[in-house]
């Protein structure tokens, strides 16, 4: 295994749940939104009840829908109240900004990789401006040699073409590149299909199905900084 990780010239990263803790951000933003709405008069007894109802609404309408709080009031049989909705929006956004920080080992790892002449990049699915907003808020906009976002290029992970595009920009062959992401079905599957060295980041262990071989990573790490020992840098 580690033999393969010699001769690596580029490390490409996923953004969400890889460079920062998206799951905690989403949870805390929603919990704080419910608390703020309660302070503004939302007639529920406890935060957890409101949070669970909000999760069902997010699941039903999708994460990018922009009227979750309107639907939450409706679900509680409450007439639309702009004060309560605005309280939710303000708390949600403030919390999001507070949690939109790179995991503590991310910036030191990126700097160490660049210091060793390793190219670094991002390959991400999503809307270009939204993903760039995250990169900028994470303070990472000047670090990467390439940033490829699906909306802009017209392919998305797990399509191998999105990885090939990033490699082309860096002038690096697939077997000389590592891709780091959290998702077996998207990140690992795509990186394997494009013949990069797939590294799966699993910050919190949880029960999972046994994945098909195409979705099994070459290496699993618990935090981004483990890349340095994998690549014999640290």
Distances (CA, A) of 5 to 11, 145, 231: 11, 20, 6
Report in angstroms how near the CB of residue 6 gets to a copy of itself at its nearest. 33
Q: Which is nearer to a copy of itself, 39 or 212 (CB)?
A: 39
Query: Residue 92 or 215: which CB sits closer to a copy of itself?
Result: 92
CB of 214 to a copy of itself, least distance (A): 31
Q: Which contiguous run of DSSP H or E holds residue 221?
A: strand 219-221
Q: Shortest gap between Cβ of 45 and a copy of itself (angstroms)? A: 21
Chain-centre distance for alpha carbon 214: 21
CA distances from 32 to 50, 64, 94, 168 (A): 11, 18, 9, 43
Question: CA-CA distances (angstroms) from residue 181 to 32, 91, 165, 185?
Answer: 28, 29, 17, 10
Cβ-based nearer residue to a copy of itself, 101 or 223: 101
Contact set with a copy of itself (CB under 8 A)? 40, 82-83, 85-87, 89-90, 128-133, 135-137, 141, 147, 149, 151-152
Q: How far is the CB of 107 from a copy of itself (least distance, A)?
A: 18
The nearer residue to a copy of itself, 94 or 105, going by C-beta atoms, is 94
Q: Which is nearer to a copy of itself, 32 or 131 (CB)?
A: 131
Q: Are the C-beta atoms of residues 162 and 150 closer than 8 Å to each other?
A: yes
Q: In the complex, what is the shortest distance from the CB of residue 74 to a copy of itself, in angstroms, rounded to a whole number?
A: 15
- Look at residue 34 and give its three-state secondary structure: helix
Angle, helices 82-99/22-39, rounded to nearest 10 degrees: 150
């Amino acid at each position: 295994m580690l033999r393969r990780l010699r001769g690596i010239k580029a490390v490409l990263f996923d953004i969400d749940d890889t460079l920062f803790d998206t799951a905690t951000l989403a949870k805390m933003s929603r919990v704080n939104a419910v608390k703020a709405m309660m302070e503004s008069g939302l007639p529920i007894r406890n935060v957890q009840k409101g949070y669970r109802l909000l999760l069902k609404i997010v699941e039903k309408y999708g994460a990018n829908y922009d009227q979750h709080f309107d639907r939450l009031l409706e679900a509680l049989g409450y007439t639309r109240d702009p004060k309560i909705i605005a309280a939710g929006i303000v708390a949600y956004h403030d919390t999001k900004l507070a949690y939109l920080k790179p995991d503590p080992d991310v910036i030191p790892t990126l700097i160490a990789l660049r210091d060793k002449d390793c190219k670094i990049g991002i390959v991400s699915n999503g809307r270009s401006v939204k993903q760039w907003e995250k990169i900028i808020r994470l303070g990472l906009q000047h670090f990467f040699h390439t940033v490829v976002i699906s909306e802009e290029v017209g392919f998305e992970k797990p399509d191998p073409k999105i990885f090939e595009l990033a490699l082309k920009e860096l002038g690096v062959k697939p077997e000389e590149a590592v891709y780091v992401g959290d998702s077996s079905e998207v990140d690992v599957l795509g990186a394997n299909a494009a013949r990069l060295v797939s590294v799966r980041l699993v910050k919190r262990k949880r029960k999972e199905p046994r994945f098909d071989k195409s979705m099994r990573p070459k290496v699993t790490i618990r935090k981004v900084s483990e890349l340095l020992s994998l690549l014999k840098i640290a």
